[in-house]
Structure 1
């Protein structure tokens, strides 16, 4: 299951996205950098305040997702999200990617 956190303008001004990315990266590293766990940033107008988390994230980051009010979502498309933390292969999990076809 994919998850999405939508940050308020205030949260962005307070660098909440940076803290989330740093925490994600630390826990991802401590979990032996799982292939299926990745964090993506939203791209484009109306999507820049969103952070997306792939299904493999639940095993090591679920407590943070719950605390931040993350909501289940459909996989973002490659046009909607860019990889922040994870293996390059995680890009293929995005909806509409070449590997998914």
Structure 2
């Protein structure tokens, strides 16, 4: 399993796409029972965009969402600057061990 990344531009943000993806992800997270290593992160991108990152566990419980929104496989992001949108607060501990 691997991380997935989605870059949203300012138009996507204005259209509420971050909120829609977060809400859909939250529903999937809850229905999966809140797995400890399932999380959605965001990071400010250049030119006003937003990077969204899905942890590897998301491939098990949120594959459909990952595919529908067009996220692509990626290397694990640097933890600096990441903001947890959905998941357990201790997720960074699990990601660094």
Into which bin does the TM-score normalised by the smaller protein fall?
0.7 to 0.9
Q: Which has the higher contact order (CA 8 A, sep 6+)?
A: 2
Unmatched tracts of structure 1, length 5 or more = 94-98
Q: Structure 1: how far apart are the matches of 2:10 and 2:83?
A: 20
Alpha carbons 1:39, 1:51 under 8 Å: kept: yes
Q: Structure 2: how far apart are the matches of 1:64 and 1:81?
A: 20
Shift of 1:16: 0.3
Aligned length: 94
Q: 4+ residue runs of structure 1 moved beyond 3 angstroms?
A: none
Unmatched tracts of structure 2, length 5 or more = none
| Partner of residue 13, structure 1 | 14
Shift of 1:80: 3.5
- Structure 1 residues 48, 90: closer, same or farther in 2, change over 3 A? farther
| Partner of residue 58, structure 1 | 59
SS in structure 2 of the partner of residue 76 of structure 1: coil
CA RMSD of aligned residues (A): 1.6
